[in-house]
Amino acid sequence: MADNSELFRNIVESIFNTWTALRLAVEHGMGGHRGKEIVLRLVDEVTNLVCKGDIGAEEIADFLIEFMDTEFHTECEDNSPDEVATVLWQFYQHCKAGNHNEINLELSKLPKCEVWLCKPLRPMNTQEEAMDSEDAVSSGQSSNIAVGELDPEWTQVKSKRRKERL
């Protein structure tokens, strides 16, 4: 069963890589600066939940909905937690039955996307961030907040400067 658990964990990770609502929640900082770490914890929790108990797709969906709300303050109005839960449940049934050919076939049908979840977390470079903040203040953008007083609950979004056309 340990092999099935590890196989299923990899499947969960692959499916979460294709889940747009989850990726957007992380990219938009809905889980704070440790969004990817939260998702990796979600991968482990879903793997344990499904592998340890006899649960159905509805229970998985309820868990995903609750997790997205609690950890990412995100409500998925697109029904995606239900869809993800159904796919996860189906894959787990294939794992239990040892249908590795079916697993490979179904995995090949998943949409191709950038693998964002497995990428190593980039450590924050505070000196670089401080310089960017100072540049924003000195470039004419007014701010009443000193560089070192940024609210840790907010994510600073920096715009990219467009190159001038010749």
pLDDT for 33-53, tens place per residue?
899 999 999 999 999 999 998
Cα distances (Å, whole numbers) of residue 73 to 31, 33, 47, 125, 155: 7, 14, 22, 27, 15
Going by C-alpha positions, the residue among 152, 151, 158 that lies closest to residue 128 is 158
Of the listed ranges 34-38, 60-64, 149-153, the least confidently predicted one is: 149-153
pTM of the model: 0.67
Residue with more model confidence, 118 or 159: 118
Is the Cα dihedral 60, 65, 71, 76 positive or negative?
A: positive
Mean pLDDT across the chain, nearest whole number? 78
| Helices 35-52 + 2-18 axis angle, to 10 | 140
The torsion angles phi and psi of 144, rounded to 5 degrees, stand at -95, 0
pLDDT grade for 126, boundaries at 50, 70 and 90 = very low
How far apart CA 156 and CA 15 sit, in angstroms, is 29
pLDDT grade for 147, boundaries at 50, 70 and 90 = very low
| Model pLDDT, residue 89 | 97
Q: What is the mean pLDDT of residues 88-115?
A: 90
Going by C-alpha positions, the residue among 83, 20, 10, 78 that lies closest to residue 40 is 10
